[in-house]
Structure 1
Amino acid sequence: MKITMIGSGYVGLVSGACFSDFGHDVVCVDKDASKIEALQAGRMPIYEPGLDQLVATNVAAGRLTFTTDLAAAVAGADAIFIAVGTPSRRGDGHADLTYVFEATKEIAAAVTGPTVVVTKSTVPVGTGDRVEEILREERPDIDIAVVSNPEFLREGAAIGDFKRPDRIVIGSEDARAREVMREVYRPLYLNESPILFVSRRTSELIKYAANAFLATKITFINEIADLCEAVGANVQDVSRGIGLDNRIGAKFLHAGPGYGGSCFPKDTLALLKTAEDHESPVHIVEAVVKVNDSRKRAMGRKVLHALGDEPRGKTVAVLGLTFKPNTDDMRDAPSLAVVQSLQDAGVTVRAFDPEGMDAAKAMMPDVVFCKDAYEAAAGADAVTIVTEWDTFRALDLRRLASVMTAPVMVDLRNVYRPDDVRKLGFAYSSVGR
């Protein structure tokens, strides 16, 4: 099949590369000429394990190409995916659909025959209806079906998630569109990945509901971690004890500094706004957003507490800046709030992240960026682990202590066993233990 992917960011690029690996002919489109030029030269605009090789393989096979020419890419396509950004709108938290509707109008001007337009972007309930209206207004002469097909990709594990999904959600009641989507995902269907056909509005809501529920699990265990500290319990044991219950499950029950990234913060806000617009409040999600925001600031205070009564003038080494490992994504990362809290208290911050420092430099202008964990810790009064990169799981703690002014560690990801660190002379604190 001929597939056009409009938007060559995280979702569009990963999805396009995976579709081409299935054997489809895929064209990825983007208005950013420098991005397309980089992709044509084999340079990835994002860090995602395995993506560069996947792209190179399918470009070499002639199944994957990149262009800024939307009209040429859309002409004759069997399925056209919209995978552009839907950031939170400044001021009210609604998802900004400007790019979605702009892409829709450009598609309408370029299509040459019957096709299926698929919203891959995360969009509020009812967006597909508006996309369909625009297409019918602009091109009443062509049969264009509109489908919702949300993505469920985890940054750092996106290729595996795409190729081995828990489920594929397709929102459409159009028989022709459903058959096209079956063919698009046929390789996964043959591997027995479940395809869930629902109405378009149901599909749009599934995406938001899924992310809100996962955000709720994270926030729940973070509050339990606070309770564990107050009563002298161990949150990791609590997580395991409840996670072994199949009704609950173990995933997303790891206490830490709160959720961030490109999805959970904006999607929970967008769900709240949808609920508000329809006068159907979701109080649990309201609480999740509020608690998560305060959680990040509280982690900054936790590090300050470890510095003693007078933190001003001291230095903290921050290990890990991205919102999670195996990505370079800094959007709404907990490190932003932690670093800001430290700097507001007069603390100097030295930092290291394996992939995120280029993006972080624009957001943290006063931070000293270092080549590795040990350079960051040199002369520091404390070190804090904010993102659990594998490289931080096996630090030479003796070496780390030897370069620090004081051996103090605040482990916001519970990477280490307390006794193992303390026996090396560290003053050690973690989350919920």
Structure 2
Amino acid sequence: MKDLWIYKILKNIIIGFLVVVFMIGVFNQALINYFIPKVYLEEVVEGARIYSRRAVVGSAEAKKIETIKLGRDVIVEKFEYLTGQYIKIGMPLFKIDPNFGIEDISAIIQPVKDQLQSLNAQSAIASERLAGNREKQALTKSEIEDSQNMLLQYKILFEQNAISKSEYDGHQKSHQALKDQLTSLEMESTQLVSEIRGLKTQIEAAEASLGQEQVLLEYIDNVDEQGVFYSPYNGVILSQAPPGDIIDGSQPIMEVALVNSYQDVYFNLLVSQELADDLGMYRTFYFAQDNAPEEEWNKVQVIYKSYIPVGDKILVRLEFKDKNGIPYMGDEIKGDLITRTPLVQYVVPKSAIRQSFDDIEGGGTFVYVVEEKHGVLGTEQVVKEIPVTVGASDDYYIAVNSTAARLRNLQVVKNLNYRITDNQRVLVVEE
């Protein structure tokens, strides 16, 4: 009985001891887990691109604007469309009073045509006379040169009493007559040049007048008998004169931006000097609106940068290369200017990068991965430092590569702090 009693006591002591050891181990593990750094992991992405986004707000500016003038004082009774609305060729735009201001433009154009024809004929005759004059000048100059040589010979003969004075004087008079003839031709040439210049000025004025009248004729051809003007353009109305007033013939009745697509407008941005410096001339970017997927991004190209600030901003002008649809003139165009790199080998979160300028051989840049090691208290998780080289980056990711380790399929620590160092024990937790 005594032996049995001793056995039970020893058994209880052993069991209690084991329980205490277990409790201490569990407590120590919990205590260690409480104090060791907690880390979050993210997988290394292979074969990705780095995207850089800049939010911008711009506006559309038409590349070409047409002004509708009728060249005669008119009264617009009403407009059919409002400023900002899109119009197409053949649509009725406005109605004018057909009994006020419209006259027979053809009757005005014909005298201008006749005048232009007469001026061109006069110019042709004067040009022909000038060409003949210059031929005569060249011939006369040659004759004067020959005459001068002969006169020198006659002078020698006269001095030697080989010819009489009257004969010598006759040769002098012939030589002078040639010189007088050249002077007359030169004066005539100057007059002809002046005449041709004057005719050219008159021709240009007549052509300009005729061109204006023909443009007016083309516009007036768009007005029917009731005074309705039909659109000669596709585009958007930018401005309109007030209806009911007499509109001077030199004043525009309507301005139309010839806009049928985004390729017909400039994309104007007012940006900071820093962003303007990044937007290099003729550089191409992607433009995305409303978080559109990559396949819906559009290409834009920088074509102009102002060197004169607008306040504290710089004007940068771009062109859309492949955007579909029709822009709304005057409305803001919001989106992101995006640059993307070619495919890079690996990318990791920027928060997973640590720099240490003491390690020149490793490039001074590291990522940390977690490895499992077996210890006294079981499996432990420790971090391992891997030197990497870095490349392009965006707001979240950065391109990396390493000659010291294979990065494929690895997970890196992305919440680095001063406690996480090489061979440091850590605890991996889920976010």
TM value normalised by structure 1: 0.18
User: Is the radius of gyration larger for structure 1 or structure 2?
Assistant: 2
TM value normalised by structure 2: 0.18
- Which has a greater percent of helix? 1
- Which has a greater percent of strand? 2
Higher relative contact order (CA 8 A, sep 6+): 2
